Every structure is written in structure tokens, then in C-alpha cells.
Amino acid sequence: MSFLKLQNIQKSYSQERKAFACPSLEISKGGKVGIAGETGSGKSTLLKIIAGLEKPDEGEVFMDNESVYPKLDRLIPGHPEIAYLSQSFELPKFIKVIEFLHSSSIEEERFDQITRLCRVKGLLDKDTFALSGGERQRVALAKVILKEPVVLLLDEPYSNLDPHHERIIKEVIRDISKETDATILMVSHDPSDLLPWADKVLILKDGEIAQIGAPKEVYYKPVNEYTAGLFGDFQKLDGSKWSSLKQDLIVRPEQLTLNNHGKTGEVQAVYFHGNHELIEVKTDNETIQALASPGTYQKGDKVGVSIKLSDYPK
């Protein structure tokens, strides 16, 4: 059953620039939706429309079958039950973290739970101006979680973080997803970050939905090359040359198997990637790339190439 629903949404910034258009989008309560797309595809606009920070030219957003717009606070923009964390958030300066986070309306038990969940317990006595970028991100996230939002919108929470703090914030968001009932929509600058977290991935292009589906579906069955390219390496192969399939195949390197049967080819190059190697093989009509364990093949080897066709609809 849908909990969050967008209906006939249209948003433009000018006659030439369409920001976002969505005939219909439904999200289940407690859902985790990852939003991917190239720069300017409408990702942030979508979040702001849901948050009530931008009103569409046409259409409405419904939460639990009620329009969110009558509840928008005109003095403080947004909906009281929808939290939006921008990638360009600012914390007040010259204030202790505990002063920023705490208020008399928050029970101590909940305050302790959320500060531990967001990994900011050890930061409470610090000044906000002394925090690192990753620490500021976690403090800002703790602030919005303490308000107990029904819907949480995260706009590129991993951007501009070093690997250490990126790993921590990923753990925090994972735990928030498990331990709260919030419906969460998240944009990431690296779409591959969404695959292990989301239960649904929404892909935008030029302000419209290009594809929506489970992570494995959008990864292994992309509707086009644009969608495929967002999530890493792929190859477009002529299906008639590999099987009885009439359509072209979009395949990932791990969907190609190197063995002693299948289409014959010769290894042209081997690229080391740590726990695996990317093997470039030239067949009679095309060059393909497949994965193998390190040390399995070398340049000049004759190999057979097969595609795992079970990943494709007949």
C-alpha cells in the first residue's frame, strides 16, 4: 500500500528548462528509495518538492492519503513530519554540540539512543566550529532524527567526505534505516552506493523517471545505456550473435563467463583490480570484457566466452 504518493507533478524553472515531471510515483511506508541520475536530472528538485520546500506548478504530493501542502509552514518552509537534509547544510557556530541537539522536549533516553545511533555521543562537548566535515554531517543528521520525522530526505549525504567518514555515515544511515520507522529517500553522487541499501532505486534523466525497480533489476536489466552506465561497466552486445535472442544485450563483466566452451576468443589484455582481474577478449566479431580471479589468464590465451542468459527475460 502506498504511503507517499506523487500525482501529476510538473515543475519548470523557465519555458526552456523543465526541472521535474512525474505522472505518478508511489512509495510504501518504511521504504528505502535510492535516487540516481546525472547532474541536473532533477534529483534535488524531487526531494524539495516532497519536502514542501518547492511547490510544483501542477500536481500534488500525498502522505498517508492527505495532501502535504495544507500543512506547509509558511514561516518555516516545509512539512513538520518531513525532514530534508541538504548537502549544503550549515551548523550554527560558537555553540556546543549538546546545546545544538538537546531541548527540554526530548526525553533523555531517546537523546542517548539517537546520539549513539548517529555516532555523536563523543562529540557533545565539542564546539560546532571545531568539527570535521564528517562529524558535522552526523550532528546534522542527529538533529533531524531527534525530531522523529515520518519521511527523511537525504540529499547526497556522502559527498565531500573522506573514505573514513564516508564509511561511518553509511553505517549510521544503515542503522537509522533499521531502527526507525521513517520512510527514507536518498540521493547519492555515486549511484552504486544505493544498491546495497535501497529496496527500490529510482533513476532520473532530464527531469523524468527513466526507470524504477529493485536494485538487482536496475543493475542487471537496465532499460537503456544511460541507466546501465550509472552503475558501472557494461557492454552492449548483439543478441543474435550470442543466442536466439533478437534484442541487443546490455551485460555486466561478471555476467560473462570464461571457460573451455562457448564463443572462442583470444585474451588481448589483463587488468589487475586487486581481488579480481578484468580480462579483455577479442572474438570473431567483437571485443568483450569479463572478470576472473587474479592469475587465471594471460595475454594470448585462447578462451571460450559464455553469457549467463538466465539474467535476461525470454
Tell me the CATH number for domain 2-230.
3.40.50.300
Percent of the chain scored above 70 by pLDDT?
94
C-alpha dist (Å) from residue 119 to 25, 39, 167, 290: 34, 30, 12, 40
Q: Which residue intervals of the chain bear CATH 2.40.50.140?
A: 248-311
Q: Which residue intervals of the chain bear CATH 3.40.50.300?
A: 2-230
The answer on pLDDT for 249 being more than 90 is no
pLDDT one-digit tens code per residue, 195-235: 999 999 999 999 999 999 999 999 999 999 999 999 999 99
pLDDT in the model for residue 153: 97
Per-residue confidence band for 73, with pLDDT thresholds at 50, 70 and 90: low
- Plot region of 139 (φ>0 → left; ψ -120 to 50 → alpha; else → beta): alpha
pLDDT one-digit tens code per residue, 81-100: 999 999 888 899 889 999 99
Return the minimum-mean-pLDDT range out of 1-15, 27-41, 82-96.
1-15
pLDDT, greater one: 239 or 60: 60
Per-residue confidence band for 248, with pLDDT thresholds at 50, 70 and 90: confident
Phi (first) and psi of residue 91, to 5 degrees: -100, 150
pLDDT in the model for residue 55: 86
Q: Which CATH class is domain 248-311?
A: mainly beta
Q: CA 144, 148, 152 angle in degrees (round to 5)?
A: 60
The answer on pLDDT for 7 being more than 90 is yes
Percent of the chain scored above 90 by pLDDT?
74
The answer on pLDDT for 269 being more than 50 is yes
pLDDT one-digit tens code per residue, 291-310: 999 999 999 999 999 888 66
The answer on pLDDT for 157 being more than 70 is yes
Q: What's the grid cell of residue 156?
A: 547526497
pLDDT in the model for residue 258: 93
Nearest CA among 15, 156, 50, 11 for reference residue 140: 156
pLDDT in the model for residue 307: 86
Q: What's the grid cell of residue 135?
A: 562529524
The answer on pLDDT for 260 being more than 80 is yes
Q: Write down the residue that cell numbers 504518493 correspond to.
A: 5
pLDDT one-digit tens code per residue, 181-194: 999 999 998 999 99
